[in-house]
Chains A and B, each alone.
Chain A
Amino acid sequence: MSAAIDHLLPCAAPVRLVDQAGRAVEVPQDGEVAGRGYGMPAAATLKRLWQAMVLARRLDTQATALTKQGRLAVYPSALGQDACQVAPVLALHEQDWLFPTYRDSMALFTRGIDPVEALTLLRGDWHCGYDPHAHRTAPACTPLATQAVHAAGAAHGMARRAGSAPPRAAALCFVGDGATSEGDFHEALNFAAVFHAPVVFFVQNNTYAISVPLERQTKAPALAYKGVGYGIRSEQVDGNDAAAVFSVTRAALEHARAGKGPVLVEGHTYRVQAHTNADDASRYRQDSEVAQWRERDPVERLQAYLQTRHGLTAGDIDEQVDLAESRATELRQRMQDEPVVDPDELFRHVYAQPTPHLRDQADLVSSESASAP
């Protein structure tokens, strides 16, 4: 490879700090992983990661259960992608912006968004249930990769606000493996590179776009290589190793905040559940494949590491599981009530001031509601 692009290329293999059995991976001091500044996060950080993953997973499982009770219209589970959703969000600063997709509920929970507000889209009483400014989090985006261009634009805006100083704040954008085939993904990378925008694109490569496997999306050696052609620094990481995901994403965000340009990170992971509760994954993949990935569970892996290296006890685990259980119970109870919807709200946010035409239609709906039995 030419030296001119070495600084853009991802590591030859996905960065890994903790192996599947929960043991620390040896990182040679003169190797490329250490050379890029990646290393084991502090014990307190790892514990925070683990706690957040236990909580996010329990809420994710609860959300799937809520679909069975008809309390959510649909739910795309993130189970198995816990590390890819929780670790990058914990690497964010408060002033950074997050650009999530519809599958990133665990990321929203970790960002501190009320789970009921995070699930509004899927409960169906409105689209975005939370205040984007309050949480510096864009609405969860359904049209694939379209939010990546927003992230590039928002990051450029943040850099503009900083003037000639480093931007200090960055944008983090999630996309899936399927979305890397969309034109907007490529336009986003190109705009981010050309404008030197402080944005990190994190591809959660969960191996399937609904039913279509990765080999039908791309012939690239890894999705991370897609950054190189745009002149973007790129990296790939074991997406089920929360320690590595945190370290790589933190370094990428620091790179962006320092005014050194955008970064593309690919997390190699797996969607353990079907695409949504309405999907039948047995039509396109084998149970044996799912079982293999269950062995690589990100939560158990970090938990094992903390138990052997940092004295995490059975009592600590029980305490966190109980906390997660109580949050899940609270979520379940709050979701039992049928949400109150207001038909007048249909018209309230279409324009700053409703047009005369919309006022007429609001009157129509109002009279229909009044005369309804």
Chain B
Amino acid sequence: MTTPTSTGELSFAAALNAALGDAMERDPEVLVFGEDVGALGGVFRVTDGLAARFGSDRCFDTPLAEAGIVGFAVGLAMQGFRPVVELQFDAFGYPAFEQVVSHVAKMRNRTRGRLPMPIVLRVPYAGGIGGVEHHSDSSEGYYAHTPGLHVFTPGTVADAYSLLTSAIESEDPCVFMEPKALYWGRGRVDREREVSAAPGTARVARAGRDVTVVTYGSQVPTALQAAQVAAAEEDWDLEVLDLRTIVPLDDDAIMRSVTKTGRCVVLSEAQSFAGVGAELAARIGERCFHSLAAPVLRAGGLDVPYPPPKLERFYLPGVDRVLDAVARLQWDDEPDPRWLDPGPTDSRPRPASRTALR
């Protein structure tokens, strides 16, 4: 059996499809299943053609029951298979939460390593595609909070291929978060993966001197756009660090960047409260305190339920929200005026935003 060596430009969805096909070609134990992944090829066409190519016993539709799908994967993993499961939409993964948290994540630990769970749970996640309710959640925080799971968050086409391949080869269960808004973007794929692209290795997506923007998944393009605008309009040189995987987390790369720039904004699409961004901000504070010229700020989604399509532009972090955060990084060595007054939150002064200034 040969490993395809072709490289070329693919869509994010096609890169995932190529990773699945190549993995199924290499390893007969890899099984792909879920809702609508067979004849339809998945609602986002990520499994397109796999049933025809590998047979409907290796890529198959299941009954519409997410706990059943994930529990079925646990049983198959016990028998030595490597299930790759599609959970169709972020919020549709919630019925499977008990199976994920109590079994997928814990089985290796419960059995002292005797029953590893090499399962991949593919989760199309996040918004920006005009989806109606329950179709746009950023649910990575639930999984990242759960010991025993790896959480991969590709934000580029190259990583779609490289990280999904790594996830399928891993002996540990992996929740693989696929940003829906990026499915149709195109980029180059290297099917001969570089060692530097291993999970747990962050990537400097853009080198810069002044501020580190730490991000992942759906917000990688936003961070890069913000860096372009900042360079053109504000003379700020932003470094963009794409984490690629939340678990394992590349603390070293974050420290290298933030100790260099001395300022940091953490950008994620998820609601900010008690989320991955909060963990990142805390870790950076712990590790880089003496290098920081300003507190680490978070830019992200709002702490409201994900809004209906006509309102999602107000929810999603964009270039302006990122640059507003950058602007508050105490460039004049002045504290943020909002936090000086110990009075009630409602009476604090509001900062002007770039949007408001236009």
Contact = CB atoms under 8 A, between A and B. Distances in A.
B114 to A, nearest CB: 5
Contacts of A150: 71-72, 74-75, 78, 103
B244 to A, nearest CB: 14
A349 B147 CA distance: 11
Contacts of A325: none
B111 A128 contact: yes
B179 to A, nearest CB: 23
B214 to A, nearest CB: 16
B248 to A, nearest CB: 4
Nearest to B252: A356
Given A143-B98, A156-B72, A184 B111 contact: no
A132 B75 contact: no
8 contacts: A128-B112, A139-B107, A150-B78, A152-B68, A153-B71, A345-B112, A356-B249, A356-B252
A187 B71 contact: yes
B103 A146 contact: yes
Interface string B63-82: 10101101111111111110
Interface residues of A, number: 41
A352 interface: yes
A153 B63 contact: no
B177 interface: no
B148 A152 contact: no
Interface string A175-192: 000000001100110110
B111 A157 contact: no
Given A350-B109, A351-B172, A352-B171, A190 B80 contact: no
A153 B200 CA distance: 31
Contacts of A157: 75-76, 78-81
B68 A190 contact: yes
Interface of B: 57, 62-63, 65, 67-68, 70-81, 95, 98-99, 102-103, 106-116, 147-148, 150, 170-172, 200, 247-249, 251-252
Interface of A: 97, 126-128, 131-133, 138-139, 143, 146, 148-158, 160-161, 171, 183-184, 187-188, 190-191, 194, 345, 348-352, 355-357
A143 B76 contact: no
A154 B79 contact: yes
B52 to A, nearest CB: 19
B111 A355 contact: no
B63 A187 contact: yes
A212 to B, nearest CB: 20
A355 B108 CA distance: 15
A153 to B, nearest CB: 2
A132 B108 contact: no
